[in-house]
Structures are given as structure tokens and as C-alpha cells.
Structure 1
């Protein structure tokens, strides 16, 4: 049996709370493994500068249009 299959089998034996704890841990772990591209970093820097300069080119509106 593969490790993944063993893990899947073990997870089915957990309580809902334990499964949620594993899901939360996996979400955090996977997020920590992601790398932010230089392009995305540049967009963040430009947006921060626009905000600092008082330029707000995009404003989200609520679904009600207000």
C-alpha cells in the first residue's frame, strides 16, 4: 500500500474535528510552499505606490451597486 493510500485510510478514521485540523494544517503548509513571482511582487509594489500617491484606479463595489 502506498503512503498516500495509508494516509487516506487513516484520515477516514478521524473525527470531524481532527479532519478539520489536518485540513487547516495542510492549507498553511501548502501556502508556505508557494512562491510569489517577481511579476506579482512588482504589481504589489505598484499598487502600494499608487495608494500612497492617492491614485485609486480600481474600486470594488458591492453586489448591490452601492
Structure 2
């Protein structure tokens, strides 16, 4: 069994509240990793340029 399979089995055994805490932690971890990713930084820069150029859309529910 791989390490990932072991972790998956352990996650399935967690109570819902602990699984939700793990979800929050994992989201924070992945966000922190994305901040270091050059593609992520480039996408932020493109977004800033689009905002500066007035190339935005307004969300209307």
C-alpha cells in the first residue's frame, strides 16, 4: 500500500469535524504552495493588468 493510500484510509476513519479541519489545513497548505508557483504569480499579474486596462466583468446573480 502506498503512503497516499494509507493516508486516504486514515482520512476515511476521521470524524466529520476532524475531516473538515483537515480540509481547511490542506486548502491553506495548497494556497501557500500556489503563492510560490511562478504560474500563479503570472496569473495575478495578468489580472492586475486586465483591471488596469478596464477589462473586467461584473458578476450579476
Q: Normalised by the size of structure 2, how large is the TM-score? A: 0.68
Backbone CA RMSD of aligned residues:
2.4
Partner of 2:48: 44
Structure 2 counterpart SS, 1:37: helix
Structure with greater helix percent: 2
1:22 counterpart residue number:
22
Structure of higher CA gyration radius: 1
How many residues in Structure 1 have an aligned counterpart in Structure 2? 57
Please, what TM-score do these two structures have when normalized by structure 1? Answer: 0.64
- Which residues of structure 1 form unaligned runs of 5+? none
TM-superposed CA distance for 1:60, in Å, is: 1.3
Mean CA deviation greater in 2-11 or 37-46: 37-46
Q: Once superposed, which parts of structure 1, at least 4 consecutive aligned residues long, lie more than 2 Å away?
A: 35-40, 55-59
